Structure 1
Amino acid sequence: MKPIIAACGNDCSVCPRFMPKTAAELKATAELWYKIGFRDRVVSNDEIKCWGCTLANWCRHEIIACTANRKIQNCGECGNYPCEKIKQAFVNTARFVPDYWEYCTEAEFAVMEKAFLEKQINLDRLAEECKLSLRHEEND
């Protein structure tokens, strides 16, 4: 499966919330999100499921609104990458690693790592691809 990269660099294609998921998978994710501290309670399946970045989604760093305003899909496509917003997102993501280790199984950690902890790697790769594409356009 080709990665589906969110505005902030998360890999939606492996995210435990990204739809379609079974009811049991969503329930397990809601329980894990509560244990890790992402939620203050175990939320319903409707609350935990995600269909991707939209302006209706809450975004702690306002990255969805920023990418929408710039008419780009993700921060890797931005000429200002990496800005302070995305740098702060990287910092906030990293601060949850100890909680992942405490509450996740090895398999769950592997999913969390691929889905969320590699956001900078994903965006760096996309930013480089954008730069290469621009160079090719300039040379044509």
Structure 2
Amino acid sequence: MQINIAPCGLVCSRCDAYRATQENSPEKLELVAADWRKRYHCDDIRAELIPCDGCMTEGGRKCHHCEHSCEIRKCVGGKQVKVCSECAEYPCEKLSGFFEYVPEAQAEPMKKLLDAIAEVEKNMHSAF
């Protein structure tokens, strides 16, 4: 499976909703929705709201939250960068606020991934 990274550092290709969608598995989408309802204390999460092909995929399906509520996705799209660490304002309040919401065990690796991408890009050689 190809690695797909969201602007915030979430590895989409490891996200349960993404994986269930790519497997075309309504049963797994139901399992993910049930897990997320419990995990995020939100009874409104339903399987039909979470199919996702990656939040930045052109023309692909997007989880309802990512498509309609994610401020980071909207911000990145307006700035023409692929991940937050490419932005001159990185790290910003939107991203920092998001990381306060995400479980620390997940947030820390996401921050490290974004920092690593920024470091690689800073030191990348270019002939032009």
Deviations 1:29-71 (A, max 9, x none): 000011112532451x3212112225970234x1111111111
The one-letter amino acid of 1:89's match is F
The one-letter amino acid of 1:57's match is E
TM-aligned CA distance change 1:38 to 1:2, over 3 Å: farther
**Are 2:4 and 2:54, in contact at CA under 8 Å, matched by a contact in 1?**
no
**What is the alpha-carbon distance in structure 2 between the residues aligned to residue 92 and residue 76 of structure 1?**
19
**What is the alpha-carbon distance in structure 2 between the residues aligned to residue 4 and residue 77 of structure 1?**
16
Gaps of 5+ in 1: 98-112
2:94 maps to 1:91: no
**What is the alpha-carbon distance in structure 1 between the residues aligned to residue 15 and residue 108 of structure 2?**
11
TM-aligned CA distance change 1:42 to 1:69, over 3 Å: closer
Equivalent pairs counted in the alignment come to 117
2:37 maps to 1:34: yes
**Are 1:33 and 1:42, in contact at CA under 8 Å, matched by a contact in 2?**
yes
Partner of 1:103: none
Partner of 2:13: 13
Partner of 1:76: 85
Gaps of 5+ in 2: 57-61
Shift of 1:2: 4.4
**Percent identical residues:** 30
**What is the alpha-carbon distance in structure 2 between the residues aligned to residue 12 and residue 38 of structure 1?**
22
The one-letter amino acid of 1:33's match is W
Partner of 1:124: 115
Partner of 1:52: 54
TM-score computed with the length of structure 2 as normaliser: 0.76
RMSD: 2.5
